[in-house]
Amino acid sequence: MTDIPIILASKSPRRKLLLDQIDLGCTVIPSGIQEDKHTGQPPEEYAIDLATAKAAAISEKYPDALVIGADTIVVLEKEILGKPTDRDDAFLILSKLSGKTHTVITGMSILSKKFSVSDNFFEKTMVSFKQINDSDIYRYIDTYKPFDKAGSYGIQDQFSVWIQKIEGCFFNVMGFPLSAFFERYRSIMKRIENNNRNPVGGME
């Protein structure tokens, strides 16, 4: 494929790990964008807006690169549950999710100023929890300190024992929908390669 620098506009080690898993070498440059409070727009739109803001901030500085932005939120009965602010907030969030089914939404943005790429989308996964007692919740929080995770849990760690059912992409719950992303990434790279081979106004 065309040799284009790829930048992940996220400090999430899990997202970097997942991109490494599909052999997509990238540079990590966190955007520094503060996550705005939800102002009433649909959750899908909110997640995409955050992902786009992250990607756009880095794309302005690195216009020759393909920049990937992502933001993951948890939605329970129309309430958006983000990252916990502290131990008590993490407990409150996990208590709300206990015994219920929630939706994990990851907004994605793939941008490149040089190649006129602007692709924004989202992926949804339904996750059902078993009932979790208070002592198990506190034990999990104190052991794994999930303060950087939307919904206060990591599906890839010990919390997996409380997952009853998943409908949709597993990796989306980790914060990066690999299959949906790769399909779009491959399409974007193919278009860029075709444009490079057949530039507008180029010589025959």
Catalytically active residues, by annotation: 71
Handedness of CA 182, 188, 194, 197 (dihedral sign): negative
Q: Are 104 and 173 in contact (CB under 8 A)?
A: yes
Three-state SS for 126? strand
- Determine whether 198 is exposed, middle or buried from the number of CB atoms within 10 Å of its CB (0-12, 13-18, 19+): exposed
Tokens of 147: 């303060």
Residue whose entry in the numeric block shows the structure tokens 């002592």: 135
Residues in the chain: 204
CA pair distance 55, 111, nearest whole angstrom = 7
Q: Are 8 and 15 in contact (CB under 8 A)?
A: yes
CA pair distance 33, 48, nearest whole angstrom = 14
Tokens of 25: 């070498």
